[in-house]
């Protein structure tokens, strides 16, 4: 898990697994279905991708896929949208289409459960690709489509200066306190570096004209990070950890050295990064709302958080302390639930379509 700096969802299929606690992310995937269909209908040129030849194999990657079932819905949505496009274009190669789906996540991801839960009747040949999406994962020009949802906010590492006790930017006692300007800047700089690596790797791997779908929550321009979904989480978790130091459950040192490698970017920040990189054209950059199908409860919120961070907590604090953290966190979530719902309401989802130039 976090030992290599890699942030993976909780594996297996037990009570706290991502497999059983990923309906919030599922809402994004479901909202993506129509967006992807529309994007492909408008922006996918069969000819320019060489898809007007009889032996057409379409290669699609889901980056940071974690375990199922969400990544399987993603793949199905993309394939349906491609088939629809072939159908609309009255392209006769439709019936001979074959799809190869690449499921990517860190080496530490639970690929065993991913493979065992693959839908038995599926339209694609499946492959798992281990490794960080901040580096190269595929040979040159070997992908037509890449998809990444709910994952681009993960950094390759916590910025060095933030964990350095001698640095003026040392983020002492805060999980992620964006109100400290220098700390926020260190995270933002790390995000720029990571995104440049991400875009350069994808630029090599996607064929010219290849498309990349990016979906996920961002920080709206003009509101403070602490009012967002992520910001509220860090405040509540930070306050939970501080309580446990006071109670003598956790050592202060352990809490001081705990940082989470994520960064919530703004749309402006993302756009600037894409333009500086220059290897993709920005075809779409749209806000979207995803209606929460199941109303969020404090219990559901805690389970979702745990599915994402159980391993991170266990690795840093140990199994026993992690249990106590999540127990106290549940109480804190109940006390602060209005604030949490406010953060959720402030969340801005973006659908971005990039085309390899």
Q: Which of 91, 100, 177, 277 binds a second copy (CB under 8 A)?
A: 100
**Nearest-angstrom CA–CA distance, 188 and 40:** 31
Q: Which of 7, 18, 51, 111 binds a second copy (CB under 8 A)?
A: 111
Contact region for a second copy (CB under 8 A) — 100-108, 188-196, 248-256, 292-300? 100-108
Q: Which of 72, 99, 280, 329 binds a second copy (CB under 8 A)?
A: 99
**Nearest-angstrom CA–CA distance, 18 and 306:** 8
Could you tell me the smallest distance in angstroms from the CB atom of residue 328 to a second copy? 32
Residue 325: strand, helix, or coil: helix
Closest CB to a second copy among 201 and 241?
201
Contact region for a second copy (CB under 8 A) — 132-140, 174-182, 218-226, 236-244? 132-140
Could you tell me the smallest distance in angstroms from the CB atom of residue 61 to a second copy? 10
Q: Which of 47, 140, 268, 287 binds a second copy (CB under 8 A)?
A: 140
**Nearest-angstrom CA–CA distance, 139 and 219:** 33
CA 159 to centroid of chain Cα atoms: 19
Closest CB to a second copy among 72 and 351?
72
**Nearest-angstrom CA–CA distance, 79 and 98:** 10
Query: What binding mask, one character per residue, do residues 32-61 give for a second copy by CB under 8 A, x or -?
Result: -----------------------x-x----
Which H or E run contains 38?
A: helix 23-43
Closest CA to 210 of 13, 7, 353, 15: 353
Could you tell me the smallest distance in angstroms from the CB atom of residue 140 to a second copy? 6
Could you tell me the smallest distance in angstroms from the CB atom of residue 7 to a second copy? 16
**Nearest-angstrom CA–CA distance, 8 and 108:** 7
Which residue matches tokens 């190669």? 93
Q: Which of 34, 42, 45, 98 binds a second copy (CB under 8 A)?
A: 98
Binding of a second copy by 173 (CB under 8 A): no
Phi, psi of 337 (to 5 degrees): -65, -30
Per residue in 213-248, is it b (16+ CB within 10 Å) or e — as a string?
bbbbbbbbeeeebebbbbbbbbbbbbbbbbbbbeee
Could you tell me the smallest distance in angstroms from the CB atom of residue 306 to a second copy? 21
Residues that bind a second copy (CB under 8 A): 55, 57, 98-100, 102, 107-108, 110-112, 115-116, 118, 125-131, 136-142
């Amino acid at each position: 898990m976090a030992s290599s700096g890699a942030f993976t969802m909780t594996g297996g299929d037990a009570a706290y697994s991502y497999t059983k606690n990923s309906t919030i992310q599922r809402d994004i995937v479901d909202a993506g279905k129509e967006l992807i269909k529309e994007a492909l209908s408008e922006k996918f040129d069969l000819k320019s991708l060489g898809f007007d030849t009889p032996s057409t194999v379409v290669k699609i990657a889901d980056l940071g896929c974690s375990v199922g079932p969400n990544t399987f819905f993603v793949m199905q949505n993309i394939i349906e949208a491609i088939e629809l496009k072939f159908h609309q274009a009255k392209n006769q190669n439709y019936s001979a289409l074959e799809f190869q789906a690449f499921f990517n996540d860190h080496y530490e991801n639970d690929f065993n459960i991913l493979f065992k839960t693959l839908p038995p009747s599926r339209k694609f040949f499946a492959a798992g690709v281990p490794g960080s999406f901040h580096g190269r994962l595929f040979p040159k020009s070997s992908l037509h489509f890449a998809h990444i949802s709910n994952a681009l906010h993960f950094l390759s590492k916590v910025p060095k200066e933030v964990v350095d006790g001698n640095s003026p930017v040392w983020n002492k006692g805060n999980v992620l306190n964006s109100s400290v300007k220098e700390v926020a800047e260190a995270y933002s700089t790390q995000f720029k570096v990571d995104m440049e690596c991400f875009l350069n790797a994808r630029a090599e791997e996607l064929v010219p004209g290849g498309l990349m779908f990016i979906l996920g929550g961002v920080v709206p321009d003009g509101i403070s990070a602490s009012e967002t979904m992520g910001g509220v989480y860090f405040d509540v978790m930070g306050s939970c950890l501080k309580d446990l130091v006071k109670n003598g459950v956790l050592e202060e040192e352990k809490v001081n050295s705990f940082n989470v490698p994520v960064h919530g970017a703004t749309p402006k920040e993302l756009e600037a990064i894409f333009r500086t990189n220059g290897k993709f054209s920005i075809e779409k950059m749209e806000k979207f709302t995803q209606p929460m199908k199941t109303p969020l409860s404090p219990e559901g919120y805690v389970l979702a958080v745990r599915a994402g961070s159980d391993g991170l907590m266990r690795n840093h604090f140990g199994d026993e302390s992690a249990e106590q953290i999540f127990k106290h966190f549940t109480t804190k979530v109940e006390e602060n639930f209005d604030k949490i719902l406010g953060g959720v309401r402030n969340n801005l989802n973006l659908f971005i379509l990039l085309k390899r130039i």
